[in-house]
Amino acid sequence: MASILIAEDEARISRFIEKGLRAAGFATQVTGNGSEALALAQTDEFDLLLLDVNLPGMDGFAVLEALRGTGSRLPIIILTARVEVQDTVAGLEGGADDYLGKPFRFDELLARIRLRMRRDEAGTESTVLQHGPLSLDIRTRQARVGDHAVELSAREFALAEEFIRNAGQVLSREQLLSRVWGYDFDPGSNVADVYVGYLRHKLGSNLIETVRGVGYRLSG
């Protein structure tokens, strides 16, 4: 199981990331302190580091510089509220592999992580997820039902992926909102229901069951 170190001092955000990554099959560890993040990142126990810029103890750029200074090649994705180009460029020149501006959606973060992981261990993991007649290729973003290719928008694909990775489990509206839309999404929104409707329309009406009062489940 791939293991991800999350260096983020805002508990709301680290909880959101941790919950989502665990559901996606990753092991996780959270630290809210920069110096501790540096120490942990040097243990070889992690496959990727998510690194917030504004951290107590030691800021993210200093952690990055120190890590690269020791020759570490750990994949690093910078998480930053500072969307100014200068900071981003500094981060990438300092040896980060990628960055994500806050607020971000979970599916966006997951896509970046998977991309880094695949670059690291190319070809070791199948990129096709299958459940009954539904298959999703997470690399090419192609969806199929049986022999038929189906066009899905990025958000529809992310929602379908969430269902297929949790096949048989009931997913509540809140879970779907937090995993597919992000932590800043209004919990009262009905957008998840609307998108389940789109998926039923495109993938077949029987594929996603409504579990009354609880949520939705991929059938089968």
Residues that bind Ca ion (CB under 5 A): 9, 52, 54
Minimum CB separation from Ca ion for residue 23, in Å? 23
Nearer to Ca ion, 34 or 215 (CB): 34
Q: What angle do CA 89, 95, 100 make, to 5 degrees?
A: 55
CA dihedral 180, 183, 185, 186 (to 10 degrees): 130
In the sheet that holds 208-211, the strands lie side by side as 170-172, 215-218, 208-211
Give the largest Cα separation in the chain, rounded: 55
If the CB atoms of residues 32 and 132 are measured against Ca ion, the closer one turns out to be: 32
Using the structure block, give the residue that is written with the tokens 């920069």.
34
Q: Give 52 or 156: the residue with its C-beta nearer to Ca ion.
A: 52
Q: How far is the CB of 14 from Ca ion (least distance, A)?
A: 9
Phi, psi of 96 (to 5 degrees): -75, 150
Q: How far is the CB of 35 from Ca ion (least distance, A)?
A: 14
The nearer residue to Ca ion, 11 or 211, going by C-beta atoms, is: 11
CB closer to Ca ion out of 55 and 117 = 55
Residue recorded with tokens 């879970």 = 175
**Number of residue whose CB is nearest Ca ion:** 54
Residues 64 and 37: beta-carbon distance below 8 Å:
no
CB of 54 to Ca ion, least distance (A): 4
Tokens for 16, please give them.
């959101």
Sign of the Cα pseudo-torsion (155, 158, 164, 169, in order):
negative
| Shortest Å distance, C-beta 52 to Ca ion | 4
